[in-house]
Structure 1
Amino acid sequence: MGGFFSRQENEIQISMRLREVERITNSISERQHSINRYIKSQSEDIEQLNKEKESVREWLRYNPVSHDTCRDCKALQEEIDSLKHQLKDKDEQLKEKEEEIERLHEQKEGINQEPFLVYMYTSSMNEKISSAVRSELEAILSGHMEATRDKGLAIQFTQDPQSVPPNKPLIVLCINASRLGTDVEQALQNVTCCRSVTVVVIHHKELHALPPQASEKLLHSDKVQSLYAVVDIAFLTHKGMYPCDMNNKSLDRLTNFICSV
């Protein structure tokens, strides 16, 4: 697991992501232009087929059917039926291409959406655990966001929570090292508590030793009540955020928090 991501490293990651988005967008545009050229070609073919069909109808209008022309009429009718069949095929092909263009538009709009910007802050934590938690949470939360919301995530670590814009989500990390209430109060010491803030309580414990009750239900201070949420994360230095019900629920809760701010 990596260490602390600096602002410069985050900017590099975002820049690389933007270049990748630009590449994919250009590829979609080229595909769309190709489809447009195909539709134009098919439209010209349909127009020509319609002209031929009208020509046949015009001929029949001024050449009444007689016994001597029955054979010719039968051939003309077969030609008309063939033209109708071709027109139906062309219409179906055009419909498929139009649907593909619509899908490409939706894909392009989705790619062009900027990733969610999330700030992360920690006051005083064990630096080794702090770096590991931040790196691990960033990777897992980013993957969870893309898998469940089809949206990218850019996490900016900050040492000054007061500098975070009030309309941006802020995740405050807190290791449960002693008394839960004291640990959370200390983590929020320099934070303006509001609905755009969520506290992540880190439990450095094995699965069997995790607390049976959610931290949020044990905290009742005014600061905590003004937050969006308090969620619990199970973490071990040698395992990282290991699979468990606590982590699964917290990832969903954090995703909802990020998307709601």
Structure 2
Amino acid sequence: MEGINDELIAEVDKNETTLEDLISKFADASKDQNRIIHRFMKSNKRLMTENEEQKNELTELKQQIDANLSKEASNLTKKQKVHNDAQSQLSEREFRLVEAGRTIQHMKKEIEHKEQKINRLDTNLSKLNKENQELRTRIETYCREMESLQRKTDSFEKERNELQRRIDSWIAQKNSADIATVCIVVKIQMYAAVKKELCDKMMTELEGMLSTHLALMHTPINVEKHKEPPPDSTVPLIVICFNASRLGTDVNQAIHNIDRSRTIAVVVLHHKEHHALPNHPSENLLIGSEYKHIGAIVDIAYLTTKGIYPCDMNEKSLDRLVNFISSYA
């Protein structure tokens, strides 16, 4: 029994020792475990902090990615719109280019057609230029011949007028000498309101023509030329009027200071070529009451270089003046 107890005690002691070793190891293990747990908790806290930071970074990164994606999407949309617009414009330009190409082809055909017409016109123009040059040469030759003929005509005209004046003067002198003893000399007055050298020339030329015509009728005349209205109202008066503006105005100015109780004849002088003379006599145009006292209104055509030149109007007017003067003989 004692041996069994000793063994049991010994075993108990051994077990106690083992237990103590186990408790010591357990305590050491607990300490190690605590250290491990502490390190684990510390590591876990650090990991949690890092995880939180990474999570925040991830959130920020995600936000940046979302923002970038949104921006890229917006840019892509804009680029797509620009691309679509560019594509649309390109299509429109291509259409316009096609239309422009057709127009160019049409214009090329028209240009070719017009060039052909221009070539034909150039050919015709060359012919016309040649013909025009020939005509110009002929015209220049004719002009020189006409100028030569005109100079000869003017010379002949001057000689004719001078001869006519001499003949008229001779006839007038002869007739005056023949009938001076039996005929009564008719006194005539001439008056021009415009004091110009041309007035004296026209009155002198008109006097010569009237003297010649009346001498053939054996009616000698004595002409007095006045630059102021003559006072004697019993003598027939011929008033010279230059038609420079309106007919009525010119005639009214010419007879303005003349007594209306006397009978007068108005000679309207027209400085015009034969082809430009008026179609209607002045007396048909002056029909107002202020012209009733005028015994005769006649038109005389003249040129500065030729004086009173021969024409139908002048012949008729001289006949009217001769009749006007003859009524006083």
Deviations 1:200-222 (A, max 9, x none): 00001110110010000001222
How far apart are the structure 2 equivalents of 1:209 and 1:194? 35
2:241 matches 1:174: yes
Q: Any idea what SS the aligned residue of 2:269 has?
A: strand
List aligned pairs for 1:95-134, cutoff 5 A.
111-124=181-194, 127-134=196-203
Higher relative contact order (CA 8 A, sep 6+): 1
How far apart are the structure 1 equivalents of 2:315 and 2:215? 15
Structure 1, unaligned stretches of length 5 or more? 2-16, 25-106
In structure 2, the residue matched to 1:150 is: 218
Deviation at 1:194, TM superposition (A): 4.3
2:230 matches 1:159: no
List aligned pairs for 1:6-155, cutoff 5 A.
111-124=181-194, 127-147=196-216, 149-155=217-223
How far apart are the structure 2 equivalents of 1:196 and 1:259? 13
Deviations 1:112-149 (A, max 9, x none): 32321100000025x132122111101111101112x1
How far apart are the structure 2 equivalents of 1:221 and 1:251? 24
How far apart are the structure 2 equivalents of 1:239 and 1:139? 15
Q: Any idea what SS the aligned residue of 2:294 has?
A: coil
Residue type at the aligned position of 1:146: A
Q: Any idea what SS the aligned residue of 2:204 has?
A: helix
Contact 2:189 2:224 in 1 (8 A): yes
Structure 2, unaligned stretches of length 5 or more? 1-157, 159-172
Contact 1:234 1:241 in 2 (8 A): yes
Deviation at 1:111, TM superposition (A): 3.4
| Seq. identity, % | 43
Residue type at the aligned position of 1:152: P
Q: Any idea what SS the aligned residue of 2:268 has?
A: strand
Distance 1:117 1:162, change over 3 A: closer
Higher share in helix? 2
Deviation at 1:162, TM superposition (A): 4.6
How far apart are the structure 1 equivalents of 2:261 and 2:270? 24
How far apart are the structure 1 equivalents of 2:295 and 2:262? 4
Deviation at 1:160, TM superposition (A): 3.1
Q: Any idea what SS the aligned residue of 1:228 has?
A: strand
In structure 2, the residue matched to 1:196 is: 263
Give the length in aligned residue pairs.
156
Superposition RMSD in Å: 2.2
Deviations 1:28-80 (A, max 9, x none): xxxxxxxxxxxxxxxxxxxxxxxxxxxxxxxxxxxxxxxxxxxxxxxxxxxxx
Contact 2:214 2:220 in 1 (8 A): yes
